[in-house]
Amino acid sequence: MNCPFCGYSDCKVVDSRPTEEGQAIRRRRECIDCNKRFTTYEKIEQVPLIVIKKGGNREPFDSNKVINGIIRSCEKRPVSLKDIEMIISEIEKEVYNSLEREITTELIGELVMIHLKKLDEVAYVRFASVYREFKDINTFLGELKKLLDEKH
């Protein structure tokens, strides 16, 4: 590790500790030559995940798009931001642990619906109506009927 102050190529680690999220390790280092201290972070290298859109286009996975869709579905519902963050965390884990480097928007949408159905049925139906592109009231009623049948 090169010192950011003098450029010397050797330093010693003075302190190491995990970050609050546990996703990286924070290291305090001291340059052997100039004795100045600096901080570095070590984290797992993430292989980029590519999402295949309905039209066949490919783009990098963006969890913010998923978050925005879930937040819209949960608007004016008794769902906390902590619950939404937990869903996002679970979906990201499932997607990255699948070991696939390309996933479809359909898979992401299905994962969101599985988690929303457990959390809040109204938010689930809202998300499903946009995701599945309900064309009319009969499609909407069909989804509600399936939901009611699962409860009984």
Q: What is the mean pLDDT of residues 109-116?
A: 92
The pLDDT-based confidence of 116 (bands split at 50, 70, 90) is very high
Name which of 17, 35, 37 is nearest 27 in CA terms: 17
The pLDDT-based confidence of 44 (bands split at 50, 70, 90) is confident
Encode the chain in three state secondary structure.
CCCCCCCCCCEEEEEEEECCCCCEEEEEEEECCCCCEEEEEEECCCCCCEEECCCCCEEECCHHHHHHHHHHHCCCCCCCHHHHHHHHHHHHHHHHHCCCCEEEHHHHHHHHHHHHHHHCHHHHHHHHHHHCCCCCHHHHHHHHHHHHHHHC
The pLDDT-based confidence of 142 (bands split at 50, 70, 90) is confident
Quote the pLDDT of residue 139: 76
Q: What is the mean pLDDT of residues 2-6?
A: 95
% of the chain exceeding 90 in pLDDT: 48
Provide the mean pLDDT of the chain.
Answer: 88
% of the chain exceeding 70 in pLDDT: 97
Model confidence at 47: pLDDT above 90: no
Q: Write out pLDDT tens, residues 52-96.
A: 998 999 999 988 999 999 999 999 999 998 899 889 888 888 888
Choice among 6-10, 25-29, 106-110, 147-151 with the minimum mean pLDDT: 147-151
